[in-house]
Structure 1
Amino acid sequence: MSAIELGQTALLLVDMQNDFLHPEGAYARGGAKSDAIAALPARLKPVAEMMREKGGWIVSTQFTLVPGKNGAPFISPHLRELRPFLGKGDFAPGSFGQALIDDLAPADISVEKVAYSAFYMSRLEWVLGRAGIKHLVFAGIVTNGGVASTLRDAHVRDFHTTVLSDGCAAFDQSVHETAIASMKGIAEINSCADFLANLD
């Protein structure tokens, strides 16, 4: 990968946020934990550092629960059923929980998202275009949710896409593996180690 190509390439960190991953975050408080997800920050840190060093971009999507009256968040019915522990203050704009985890910060561009796909009703496509980014390298959580949905929306927008197979995770390993397999038709699939080797 050339320096010019890297200037048009972004590591897209999908939902690598404190409320999902930090021991004091909303998911940990609610008992929704995964060893595979917890292992991601250490695995992705060298990738993020190398991208910065080589002139690539770091783009972070930030799942957000928008507060309504009295600060109570708007939560979609399917998410309310899946994660009934979510409440006031969780994933709130500008909060500790909404922020990118320290191991991967800072991002060059951060975009709030309200659904699985970071392209849905957001400014993501606009800022990527302004930055001249044409190649998105996907990492984050969950493989079958935010990662897959955002990847498919990137594909129909003619972005070149790569997925870091061990830089993504889900709450179930078989679900993760099925999701990775389903992306092979629309994205390059690399391990973190192979991707780093290509950057050297």
Structure 2
Amino acid sequence: MRFRRAEAALLLVDLQRGFLHPAGFVAAQGRDVSACAAAAREGYALAHAARAAGMPVIWTRHVLRADHADGGLLTTELRPRLGEIGALARGSADVEIPAEAGVDPADTIIDKPRYSAFFGTPLDIVLAARGIRALMVGGVTTSMCVESSVRDAAQRDIRTFVVREAVADFDAARHAASLDAMAFGFARIVAARDAVAAIAAGEALFPPS
């Protein structure tokens, strides 16, 4: 699969305090967020490389209404604890992108109510307006919001490249299984150094892994 910077954007999924910070809602439930925090740092480096090359940077945030009415089955039946603790509520610290991310005024920030960056958001319109047909992807968590977004991108025939070091999960087995699934039928899994080199060069061919 060929990467062409001229038709590409960097999509960074849910690099927000709730998933990354020791005081976020995920860590408060006893989960280790260190892998996600490390992936976020790789994502920030990718954003810097993309901007330096003139490639658009798009951030998503998982944001819900204060009453979680837009959370659907996720907050009513699948993970009701999220609603009980007020996780991901608009205006809360959990939805903030950390200052160290260095979000630029020229970047695009898209708030989403579900796992996929495409569901219930203007992402399709943003990509079409810019002629974007390829995405370099990083973010958290690999098996949930990243994979959901990658699958939806694949259904739209958007060439998708997942940066291995820039994605992470709370569970190593789910992370590995998700990478395998995406590599099998939805995306190329690429090393961070190769992603940065491709962005700088403007074009690269990534064979099947």
TM-score range (shorter-chain normalised) is: 0.7 to 0.9
Structure 1 residues 88, 7: closer, same or farther in 2, change over 3 A? farther
Matched residue, 1:97: 94
Residue 115 of structure 2 aligns to which amino acid in structure 1? Y
Structure 1 residues 177, 131: closer, same or farther in 2, change over 3 A? same
CA distance, structure 1, for counterparts of residue 9 and residue 110 of structure 2: 13
CA distance, structure 2, for counterparts of residue 123 and residue 31 of structure 1: 34
Matched residue, 1:197: 197
Structure 1 residues 102, 84: closer, same or farther in 2, change over 3 A? same
Structure 1 residues 7, 82: closer, same or farther in 2, change over 3 A? same
The C-alpha deviation readout for 1:119-164, integer Å capped at 9, x for no partner, is 1121111111112221111111111111111111111112111111
Residue 68 of structure 2 aligns to which amino acid in structure 1? P
More displaced stretch, 190-199 vs 72-81: 72-81
SS in 1 for 2:23: coil
CA distance, structure 2, for counterparts of residue 191 and residue 83 of structure 1: 36
Matched residue, 1:149: 148
CA distance, structure 1, for counterparts of residue 43 and residue 93 of structure 2: 20
The alpha-carbon deviation at position 88 of structure 1 amounts to: 6.5
More displaced stretch, 51-60 vs 106-115: 106-115
More displaced stretch, 78-87 vs 112-121: 78-87
Residue 171 of structure 1 aligns to which amino acid in structure 2? F
The alpha-carbon deviation at position 37 of structure 1 amounts to: 1.1
CA contact (8 A) 1:140 1:147 kept: yes
**Equivalent residues in 2 for 1:35-50 (5 A)?**
35-50=34-49
Matched residue, 2:177: 178
Residue 161 of structure 2 aligns to which amino acid in structure 1? T
Mark the runs of 5 or more structure 2 residues left unpaired by the alignment. Answer: 201-209
Matched residue, 1:73: 68
CA contact (8 A) 1:7 1:57 kept: no
SS in 2 for 1:33: coil
Calculate the aligned-residue CA RMSD, in Å: 2.3
CA distance, structure 2, for counterparts of residue 90 and residue 160 of structure 1: 32
Matched residue, 1:17: 16
Q: Do structure 1's residue 122 and structure 2's residue 121 form an aligned pair?
A: yes
Structure 1 residues 89, 83: closer, same or farther in 2, change over 3 A? closer
CA distance, structure 2, for counterparts of residue 102 and residue 123 of structure 1: 24
CA distance, structure 2, for counterparts of residue 97 and residue 127 of structure 1: 25
Structure 1 residues 77, 106: closer, same or farther in 2, change over 3 A? same
CA contact (8 A) 1:162 1:189 kept: yes
SS in 1 for 2:94: coil
The alpha-carbon deviation at position 32 of structure 1 amounts to: 2.8
Matched residue, 1:137: 136
The alpha-carbon deviation at position 25 of structure 1 amounts to: 2.3
CA contact (8 A) 1:44 1:192 kept: no
CA contact (8 A) 1:73 1:87 kept: no
Structure scoring higher RCO (CA < 8 A, sep ≥ 6) equals: 2
Report how many residues are paired.
Answer: 193
- Percent sequence identity is 31
More displaced stretch, 126-135 vs 90-99: 90-99
The alpha-carbon deviation at position 33 of structure 1 amounts to: 2.5
